Structure 1
Amino acid sequence: MGATESKPQQEPVIIYNPNVPLQFTPNLINSMEKKAEQLPARVESRQMEDIINKRVKEELEKIKKAEHSLQQKFYLELSEKNQSNEAGSKETLDDVETMIQRIMRSGTKELPPKVKECQEQVIQCYRYSFFPKGHVLLRRYLTVTV
């Protein structure tokens, strides 16, 4: 009957004061970190991260290769297009030069006397009908420009 103690065991009393800072030794902190890293969940997590990083690197390399091949393809297409545009622009420039030469050769043609007479009558009508005598500057402008 004496196998069990007659007095109940008391829980240890812990006194915690929030005003006193707790300080741990660096050895204790290092040993706790090592134990946390050695936990099976942490080891498995690290292995998963390594696998994921490896796959991401592989995919990134594939994307870079595809991007490089597309850049080369577009460069070739654009260079071919540019060469055809240069030929087209030279033809257009030649056409413009030809039109300029035609216009220069034709020169200005003299208007028939009847058309000149009608023009003068219209100008006179505008000068004296639409502009009162006070608009001397407008009359001068019409006289100079005509």
Structure 2
Amino acid sequence: MGATQSKSSEPVIFYNQNVPLQSSKSTSTTGSSEDVESVVRQRVAEELEKVHQQQQELNQQIYGDMAKQNIDNDRSSVALGTDIDSMIKRIQRSSPKDIPADIAERQEALVLCYK
């Protein structure tokens, strides 16, 4: 009944754009095993080169990020050093240099009391 409508007389070909089409000489089964092995070695070498190139690009990106992070850390450490220096100067300024004599005597008496 409906069997003749669902069957087509033309073959269906699937094509993947990510996989390159192979030439007829590389897919030939009449070639010697040496030819096949050389083609396989060539393809493996090409893939290894691609992987090596991708690894180098990744390493360069990682080293760039690390260098940028080190520069940022250096800047923040310099800023931290200047903050510490300014805090030390403020602390030194806030302490009174001239203490009245009666307060100095009381401080000495307190220190002697604890000894």
TM-score where L is the length of structure 2:
0.51
Equivalent residue for 1:61? 49
Give ranges in structure 2 of 5+ residues lacking alignment: 1-31
Within 1, Cα distance between the matches of 2:62 and 2:71? Answer: 14
Shift of 1:63: 0.9
Aligned to 2:73: 85
SS at match of 2:56: helix
Give the counterpart of 1:74 among 41, 58, 62: 62
Q: d(CA) in 1 for partners of 2:96 and 2:75? A: 31
Q: CA RMSD in A?
A: 2.7
Which residue does the alignment assign to 2:28?
A: none
- Bigger drift between 75-84 and 93-102 goes to 75-84
Larger Rg over CA atoms: 1
Change beyond 3 A, Cα 1:107–1:72: farther
In 2: Cα distance, 1:92 partner to 1:107 partner: 27
Taking the aligned partners of 2:41 and 2:96, their CA distance within structure 1 comes to 78
For structure 1, the residue ranges without an aligned partner over 5 or more in a row are 1-42, 121-146
1:83 Cα deviation (Å)? 2.6
Q: Percent identity?
A: 29
Q: What's 1:116 paired with?
A: 111
1:84 Cα offset (Å): 1.9
AA aligned to 1:119 is Y
